A = this chain, B = another copy of it.
Amino acid sequence: MKTTIKDIAQATGLSPATVSLVLNNRPSRISDATRERVLAAAAELGYRSNSAAVSLRTGRSYSLGLIVPDIRNDYYATYAKGMEDACQEMGWSLILCSTNGNPERERQYIETLQAKSIDGIAVVTTPPLTGTQSFEANRDLILRMQIPLVQMDLTGYREPINAVVCDHEKGGYMATRHLISLGHQKIAFITGPSSLEGSSSRLKGCMRAFHDYGLPWDDKMLYEGDYTYAAGLDGIDYLSDRDFTAVFAFNDLMAYGVYNGLAKYSLSVPEDVSVVGYDDHFLSSIISVPLTTIRQPIYEMGKEAARILIYKTEHPDTKPVITWFDLKLIVRKSTRKIC
């Protein structure tokens, strides 16, 4: 039914080995004449290599696994798309694993991926779990399996590890500086979980900006959210008796919650309160008051993650790669100058 290298061998009167050699472009110098013959026959017969056979023989599968908490989240979907595009460019495949933040399910996936001789795994852990025991255990599992691993926004670990990272300290600084330069001095912050590196870095940046501009820092203006829409709403409830002219939400989803939270108190954006988000979710340019935000190049990070993984497959004994990405302030309508 399906044509194999044997068929091509038969058709050309050559041996399967020779056919394999030319089909894989091996340096073993084959005469141009036979090469042509093989290629012609392969095209003629519509040859496609059987990846199970290749995989069994070589132990490689030319596919990567992506483990994310929830593919419906635009953030992860964008990352997935980046990886997927990079894979496609190089003829690789991507296996999608959505864990719902369940570490046990994550573990199962890792084992399935190993069974499939996956060549590399990219993991983005769900916020509340990062740094937990079960997550570390899963990471160790991957490492022990000797499968290349790329993480996102996670540099600190007991040993160096491949990663794609943004300088969130700088991101926090940029957002805060933007507000300060607009004349805001009373700024409220709705953060992510403090256990998350990305969140604590942002916060450090905020404090540094306050310090640089000689503003007094006040922990009471802080609400610790969890990156969900609801946390934005709750944050405004919590902060409602404070006095502020601006809010910096540590991601766009919470900023949307802030919008609606403020509306509840009849406060409008940006007239009464300026709002800055973080991520540049695709909706942020679309909503009625377009959101000023810090853009993360998630798509590019996904691409790079795939590239690192593929590179590691070819060069297993190289040092861990950490690629840094730039953040960018996108000024829209949700922030305004005050006197």
What chain B residues lie within 8 Å of A91 (beta carbons)? 112
Cβ-based interface call for A52 (8 A): yes
Cβ-based interface call for A304 (8 A): no
> Which of A66-74, A155-163, A204-212 is found at the contact surface with chain B?
A66-74
What chain B residues lie within 8 Å of A48 (beta carbons)? 111, 114-115
The answer, among B52, B111, B256, for a CB contact under 8 Å with A116, is: B52
Complex: A94 Cα to B74 Cα, angstroms: 19
Could you tell me the distance in whole angstroms from the C-beta of A167 to the nearest C-beta in chain B?
25
Other 15 A-B pairs with CB < 8 A, given A63-B95, A71-B84, A259-B288: A48-B114, A49-B115, A50-B115, A50-B117, A51-B115, A52-B55, A72-B77, A72-B81, A74-B74, A80-B98, A88-B108, A88-B109, A256-B286, A260-B288, A263-B288
Residues of A within 8 A of B (CB): 48-53, 55-56, 61, 63, 66, 70-72, 74, 77-78, 80-81, 84-85, 88, 91, 93-98, 105, 108-109, 111-112, 114-117, 229, 256, 259-260, 263, 282-283, 286-288
What chain B residues lie within 8 Å of A94 (beta carbons)? 95-96
Could you tell me the distance in whole angstroms from the C-beta of A88 to the nearest C-beta in chain B?
7
A-side interface mostly = helix
Between A52, A74, A105, the greatest number of chain B beta carbons within 10 A of the residue's beta carbon is seen for A52
Also in contact, A84 and B96, with CB within 8 A (given A51-B117, A52-B56, A53-B56): yes
Complex: A92 Cα to B85 Cα, angstroms: 23
Complex: A66 Cα to B55 Cα, angstroms: 22
Could you tell me the distance in whole angstroms from the C-beta of A21 to the nearest C-beta in chain B?
19
What chain B residues lie within 8 Å of A81 (beta carbons)? 70-72, 98
Complex: A306 Cα to B94 Cα, angstroms: 18
What chain B residues lie within 8 Å of A286 (beta carbons)? 229, 256, 260
Complex: A61 Cα to B56 Cα, angstroms: 13
In the complex, the answer to whether B71 meets A80 with C-beta atoms within 8 Å is yes
In the complex, the answer to whether A105 meets B77 with C-beta atoms within 8 Å is no
What chain B residues lie within 8 Å of A61 (beta carbons)? 52
What chain B residues lie within 8 Å of A98 (beta carbons)? 80-81, 84-85, 88
Complex: A271 Cα to B52 Cα, angstroms: 61
The 6 closest A-B pairs by CB, nearest first: A52-B55, A52-B56, A96-B96, A72-B77, A51-B115, A48-B115
